[in-house]
Structure 1
């Protein structure tokens, strides 16, 4: 509830905001575009923001075995941190298995998540080519792409995930 102290404090803050020069009101230094760039790595569902690079299923299998299988299991199944493959078509029946193939609506979000958050012990440590390769391997493990496939900024966004229509999206580019 408002009382006299609240009104006095509000009045003082307004007076200070009007009296203090603009330089004094600014906290810290403005951030530059070059400071933001390393953190501005968002990837949209339509692929905007994807970096250059390429990675194949076969390259991804080796990287996955080295950096991912301890948590997610061989062939992306039954690891201590859960399975990433399998379960396609099972979201509406019995026990749901929310894997990349059964749940995720966009292939680009797989890339985005792997790039930001994996491997668990060293997030963001994979090169863009390694992320493309691991993403290719994971999509192959889910039966979405063939073992001869290579991903890049052009081929990744056109992959249609099995559960693409299982979501209602406010994202304007998802309605294509």
Structure 2
């Protein structure tokens, strides 16, 4: 068996091993340490559709326009419609066509998901670097660009979950009895 294949198989075994076995292996090899409670809390950045998990803060459309220009436009274009990466604006009414355009305004069912995604993954070259106020502002600007909120909108932990997204009813509930609805 080639060495690279053996190494890959060993990595798979380590990744799928139970945590106690993995910890015993790490202790014996002198590698790693268990995460502290503070480290785990720092990574607990889940935001639910109802807004649970949103931090304090706020941001408006004008501030969001500035943050977007500085940190997002290089990948998504000056207005969110150009790319070179994902188009963020437009696509309303296209989901039932032969060429659906999945954007924030046409596809996403919850505005809180946008906050959660931006907080976790953007900007691509510096994920988790945006402050809560910057994220709220970006969300406000992107929702405004998609015609969902007015230019005077201010997003925060109370207003964001209340935003009615155009495709909110476009998803089929999971019929499995062990899965709770959002």
Cα distance in structure 2, aligned partners of 1:166 and 1:25: 42
Instruction: Supply the distance in 2 between the matched residues of 1:109 and 1:124 (Cα, whole angstroms).
Output: 15
| Structure of greater Rg | 1
**What do the CA deviations read for 1:33-53 (whole angstroms, capped 9, x no partner)?**
222111000001111000000
SS of 1:90's equivalent in the other structure is coil
Displacement after TM superposition at 1:131 (Å) = 0.5
In the TM superposition, what whole-angstrom CA distance separates every residue of 1:69-127 from its partner, at most 9, and x where no partner exists? 11111211111003100011110012110000000010000000011111111111110
Work out whether residues 121 and 128 of structure 2, in 8 Å CA contact, stay in contact via their aligned partners in 1: yes
Residues 76, 85 of structure 2: 8 Å contact kept: yes
Matched, 1:35 2:59: no
- SS of the residue 2:162 aligns to: coil
Q: TM-score normalised to the size of structure 1? A: 0.80
Q: Is 1:172 the equivalent of 2:176?
A: no
Shift of 1:173: 5.0
Q: 2-side partners of 1:68 and 1:25: how far apart?
A: 39
Q: Check if 1:145 corresponds to 2:149.
A: yes
Q: Which residue of structure 2 aligns with residue 72 of structure 1? A: 76
Contact 2:173 2:181 in 1 (8 A): no
1:51 partnered with 2:59: no
Shift of the alpha carbon at 1:31? Answer: 3.9
Q: Give the total of aligned pairs.
A: 152
Contact 1:45-1:173 within 8 A present in 2 as well: no
Give the CA deviation at 1:32.
Answer: 3.7
Q: Distance in 1 between matches of 2:23 and 2:79?
A: 53
Cα distance, 1:30–1:147 mapped onto 2, change above 3 Å: same
Unaligned runs of 5+ in 2: 1-19, 28-32
Distance (whole Å) between structure 2 residues aligned to residue 90 and residue 153 of structure 1: 30
TM-score by length of 2: 0.78
User: What secondary structure, in the 3-state scheme, does the structure 1 residue paired with 2:105 have?
Assistant: helix
In 2, the alpha carbon distance for the partners of 1:113 and 1:25 equals 30
Unpaired segments of 5 or more residues in structure 1?
1-22
